[in-house]
Amino acid sequence: MDRRESTSGEDSLIARYFRPLATDPGAFDLGDDAAVLKALGDDIVVTTDAIVEGVHFLSDDPPETIARKALRVNLSDLAAKGATPAGFVLTLALRSADDGWLAPFARGLGEDIGLFGCSMLGGDTVSTPGPLMISITAFGRVPAGKMVRRCGAKPGDRVVVTGTIGDAALGLGILKGGAVATALADDAAAKEMLIRRYRVPQPRNALAKVVRDHASAAMDVSDGLAGDLAKLCAASGVSAAIDAQSIPLSTTAAALFARGVVGVGVLVSGGDDYEILCTIPEASFEVFAQDAGLTGVAVTSVGTVIADTSPPRFLDGQGREIALPHLSYSHF
């Protein structure tokens, strides 16, 4: 290495691809060992989520969507906690510094930074002989004491989810070439929509303040609605009765369900939805729904919190409990 060249390969990689994204003054152009985050009198909400090649994304997923997913899974946590995005740091474990991969990765990340107003504050790039891994720690702000917890659900509260449930699991099924791929062989647009839902989640940050104003408890749905609802109920010391027919499905998912291609189990246990699951006191529900309407985020009441400590139950149109094969994805 030329003695005159004082920057290492890692430094020049960071300079080329990531410095242009770090426009926050506290990021110091990624030229220091640390960043400064101003709390501005608020609480700082901290969340961290990593995605691993072959586990959370596929080797041939486009780098642009991998970047978006890495950031968005964290933005989704901030949204569910009622927090406004304030910045993030990125750890990137790469096999090699491949421009053909890094350029679209940085482009996708940069676009989402702008879209969600969440600036890049710093990062670390390391080499690994193993799968790619992207770990992001994201920061949000809430007024002091106002982070929405998992543990405040009360009997009688409505159980509410945003958007639609199950699309991402179907998209992953298509990428893996299963029954869904066969069933949609002639419908390229439907396949593309579902794959997109898997690759590029739509975090509901527009709803963060409404959640903060009205929800008694909230979390994002990352490991499947059934399992995540069970976690929320356990944290709150309650149970829930869910009307499976009211779970919001996309037109495509509803058609696949009606044709018997997929069951309720896949839709509510598949994971990767990144919708918000929250509980809303009955007395606030109307105002909540109105406020949500103003944000453009669809919200659907799917059931009721009940005073019980057994796991939540999913009921069919006749009020019979639906047996679910497994609650959610677990890494171990």
Binding residues for a copy of itself restricted to 128-187, rule: CB under 8 A? 128-131, 133, 135, 137, 139-140, 142, 144, 147, 149-151
CB of 174 closer than 8 Å to CB of 194:
yes
Q: Which stretch binds a copy of itself (CB under 8 A): 87-95, 182-190, 283-291, 292-300?
A: 87-95
Distance CA 298, CA 292 (A): 7
Helix ranges (H only) for 81-187 are 99-116, 167-175, 179-183
Closest by Cα among 124, 139, 51 to 91: 124
CB of 139 closer than 8 Å to CB of 45:
yes
Q: Which is nearer to a copy of itself, 143 or 293 (by Cβ)?
A: 143
Q: Which is nearer to a copy of itself, 117 or 143 (by Cβ)?
A: 143
75 binds a copy of itself (CB under 8 A): no
Among 36, 115, 179, 307, binds a copy of itself (CB under 8 A): 36
Among 15, 16, 52, 301, binds a copy of itself (CB under 8 A): 52
How many residues in the chain?
332
Closest by Cα among 29, 54, 8, 68 to 200: 68
6 binds a copy of itself (CB under 8 A): yes
Among 21, 22, 30, 45, binds a copy of itself (CB under 8 A): 45
Produce one character per residue of 141-176: b if its CB has 16 or more CB atoms within 10 Å, e if not: bbeeeebbbbebbeeebbbbbbbbbbbbbbbbbbbe
Q: Encode 205-232 in three state secondary structure.
A: HHHHHHHHHHCCEEEEECCCHHHHHHHH
- Interaction residues for a copy of itself, span 254-283 (CB under 8 A): none
13 binds a copy of itself (CB under 8 A): yes
330 binds a copy of itself (CB under 8 A): yes
324 binds a copy of itself (CB under 8 A): yes
How would DSSP label each residue in 229-247? HHHHHHHHT-EEEEEGGGS
Q: Which is nearer to a copy of itself, 20 or 54 (by Cβ)?
A: 54
Among 104, 213, 231, 298, binds a copy of itself (CB under 8 A): 231
328 binds a copy of itself (CB under 8 A): yes
CB of 33 to a copy of itself, least distance (A): 5
CB of 178 to a copy of itself, least distance (A): 21
Q: Which stretch binds a copy of itself (CB under 8 A): 16-24, 81-89, 184-192, 292-300?
A: 81-89
Q: Which stretch binds a copy of itself (CB under 8 A): 34-42, 64-72, 245-253, 291-299?
A: 34-42
CB of 77 closer than 8 Å to CB of 110:
no
Among 54, 143, 237, 293, binds a copy of itself (CB under 8 A): 54
Among 230, 240, 266, 305, binds a copy of itself (CB under 8 A): 230
96 binds a copy of itself (CB under 8 A): yes
The residue whose two tokens read 């944000």 is 295
Q: In this structure, are strands 313-315 and 239-243 parallel, antiparallel, or unpaired?
A: parallel
Among 23, 99, 126, 320, binds a copy of itself (CB under 8 A): 126
The residue whose two tokens read 């839709």 is 267
Among 91, 284, 295, 304, binds a copy of itself (CB under 8 A): 91
Cα–Cα distances in angstroms (integers) from residue 27 to residues 20, 49, 50, 95, 122, in the given order: 11, 21, 21, 26, 6
